Amino acid sequence: TQLLEQSPQFLSIQEGENLTVYCNSSSVFSSLQWYRQEPGEGPVLLVTVVTGGEVKKLKRLTFQFGDARKDSSLHITAAQPGDTGLYLCAGGGSNYKLTFGKGTLLTVNP
Amino acid sequence: NAGVTQTPKFQVLKTGQSMTLQCAQDMNHNSMYWYRQDPGMGLRLIYYSASEGTTDKGEVPNGYNVSRLNKREFSLRLESAAPSQTSVYFCASSIGGQVGQPQHFGDGTRLSIL
């Protein structure tokens, strides 16, 4: 069974601060996806990374896939209250299923 | 653009009652999924359907059944509800057929079993 460990589980910061969320596994994944979920809604895809060492940027968000494709990180620069939400990483294997981490609940205070 | 539509949005059941959660997607996706989300547990896969006509168990299938009615619709049934099945249920779909395809989620069904 493939497992994804996310850390930290909770993060509360002030507007303007930087933060990093980590997603780690002992298993190799073919792809790694990051989703953001707001209260009362389903998760929404932010990014997919498929190549070891790959870095993708989405405005103030930077996503990295580890060289061995076992880990990933999400870095947010100058966080804003609108970044508040549950961030989920999900690993894809050789089938159509995703393995989700337990999530990081981010609160950005004005 | 409806995407993935789940009904109902909220439901309260008594222990032992049965219920079917409905899910429909309008994106012509091949694969569909049912998850449950509990506090501190993340999203756990209940059942999935890689393509029309096929269904497979996920991580937590006990107490549930599914039907892939056609390409658009994938329903989840609780035959005899138990308090442990109190959760938020999400349906998702993806194009399928290729590694790394994103999943598109509905807004969930909040189910309470008394």
pLDDT in tens, A81-102: 999 999 999 998 767 788 999 9
Query: For chain B, what percent of residues have pLDDT higher than 90?
Result: 83
pLDDT of residue B75 exceeding 90, the answer is yes
Please provide the DSSP assignment of A48-80 as one string.
EE-STT-EEEETTEEEEE-TTSSEEEEEESS--
Strands B10-13 and B109-113, by their bridges, are parallel
pLDDT at A102: 94
pLDDT of residue B14 exceeding 80, the answer is yes
Q: Which of B41, B96, B105 sits opposite A43 (nearest CB)?
A: B105
Taking the alpha carbons at both ends of chain B, their separation in whole angstroms is 35
Q: Do A98 and B103 touch (CB under 8 A)?
A: yes
pLDDT of residue B1 exceeding 70, the answer is no
Q: How distant, in Å, are the alpha carbons of A91, A102, A105, B104, B113 from that of A35?
A: 11, 12, 12, 10, 28
Distance CA B92, CA B46 (A): 12
pLDDT at B108: 96
pLDDT in tens, B83-101: 999 999 999 999 987 767 8
> Among A55, A84, A48, A51, which Cα is nearest to A68's?
A51
Probe site for chain B from A98, A99, A104, A105 (most B CB atoms < 10 A):
A98
As a whole number, mean pLDDT of residues A11-19 equals 97
pLDDT at A1: 64
Query: What one-character DSSP code corresponds to residue A83?
Result: G
Q: Which of A50, A92, A97 sits opposite B45 (nearest CB)?
A: A97
